Structure 1
């Protein structure tokens, strides 16, 4: 009878582990690298500069992004993002909005520079002429909608100043 008790204990442990192994952040069920679609937020009429609609989510638990830019050697810049309640989607992710998932679009003075799936980016100095510029990181869902809170995009902006010999960074209109 001791072998049945051991089998029951093993099954109980397996059930406990199996029950929590499928839980991911964002509340979506994942299966073999795929994320099940779940209705997330409300798509608003408002759009960004490129015509992508805002996807309104509650402030509590909403994704967040902060951007930091530091001068690098050779007049280039190192961009580092910090995200909360947000995970980067892998390349080839299904075009479905999943809570707290997506990509970051990086902008320089309102012009799109890159779509990021990581927290680090190297900004070549050749793209940053002399003067003060705005670097913005904005969060997008995989369906290309813009994550938004209170009708405003989830983004962060810093100002950088390129002067040729020296460069400075100052906080911009973080949002």
Structure 2
């Protein structure tokens, strides 16, 4: 009778192994499936920004959004205010690991990086804005330095500003380049 018990025990072990309920040498971690990103958040793309930072693609439903508003200030500067949705700014010293909807914003003036923001407000000195019309862009980055992206495009918003010698003025307003939302005008770039 002992051989029948041994046979039943062996069959039970085989059933458990075949159904995946038990694994030999398992440490409790899941193996990466073929085609999955090794990153915990989004998928790294081959595309990168001007600085060579890779795009981190996320689904539109999970994507953060950013809007930008730039207003002249009486102290001969510009007040920049970002409005974000499904995004929070990381404090300085945050671990360089991507976390969904978290990171910092890079602020560009005519395509040139002028600040890395960990808060939604910034004072843009007038001496950085020569006379003429300029583009101020806010782009969202993960804490590991990758660019948050949707459909292969960075999540960013741009405002046009016009500086004159006597009085800085806001031109037609902010225009969204890519916000991660549905692309509606209210969500695209204008602060709500």
* TM-score above 0.5: yes
Question: What is residue 173 of structure 2 aligned with on the other side?
Answer: 171
**Contact (CA 8 Å) 1:81, 1:120: kept in 2 or not?**
yes
- Alignment correspondent of 1:89: 90
**1:172, CA displacement in angstroms?**
4.7
Does structure 2 conserve the Cα–Cα contact (< 8 Å) formed by 1:67 and 1:81? yes
**Alpha carbons 1:133, 1:161 under 8 Å: kept:** yes
Q: State how far apart, in whole Å, the 2-side matches of 1:84 and 1:172 are.
A: 17
Which segments of 5 or more consecutive residues in structure 1 lack a partner in the other structure? Answer: 1-37
Structure 2 counterpart SS, 1:166: coil
CA deviations 1:120-171 (Å, max 9, x no partner) are: 1000001000000000000000000000000000000010000112222233
Which SS does the other structure have where 1:144 is aligned?
Answer: coil
The number of residue pairs the alignment matches comes to: 138
SS at match of 1:147: strand
Query: Would you say 1:100 and 2:87 are equivalent positions?
Result: no
Q: Match of 2:50?
A: 49
CA distance in structure 1 between the partners assigned to 2:117 and 2:164 by the alignment = 27
Deviation at 1:74, TM superposition (A): 3.5
Pick the structure with greater CA Rg. Answer: 2
Unpaired segments of 5 or more residues in structure 2?
1-38, 179-192
> Do the aligned residues in 1 keep the contact of 2:49 with 2:147 (CA within 8 Å)?
yes
Deviations 1:31-90 (A, max 9, x none): xxxxxxx70000000000000000000000310000000000143100000000001111
| RMSD of aligned alpha carbons | 1.1
Q: Return the alpha-carbon distance in structure 1 between the equivalents of residues 162 and 76 of structure 2.
A: 11
The Cα shift of 1:173 comes to 4.1
Distance 1:152 1:173 in 2: 15
User: Secondary structure of the residue that 1:60 maps to in structure 2?
Assistant: helix
| Structure 2 counterpart of 1:70 | 71
**In the alignment, is the contact (CA less than 8 A) between 1:75 and 1:164 conserved in 2?**
no
Instruction: Using structure 1 for the length normalisation, give the TM-score.
Output: 0.76
Q: Please list every run of at least 4 consecutive aligned residues from structure 1 whose deviation after the TM superposition is greater than 2 angstroms.
A: 170-173
CA displacement at 1:117 relative to structure 2:
0.5
Question: Is the aligned partner of 1:133 residue 2:134?
Answer: yes
**TM-score for the superposition, normalised by structure 2:** 0.70
Whole-Å Cα distance in 1 between the matches of residues 119 and 50 of structure 2?
23
Partner residue, 1:111? 112
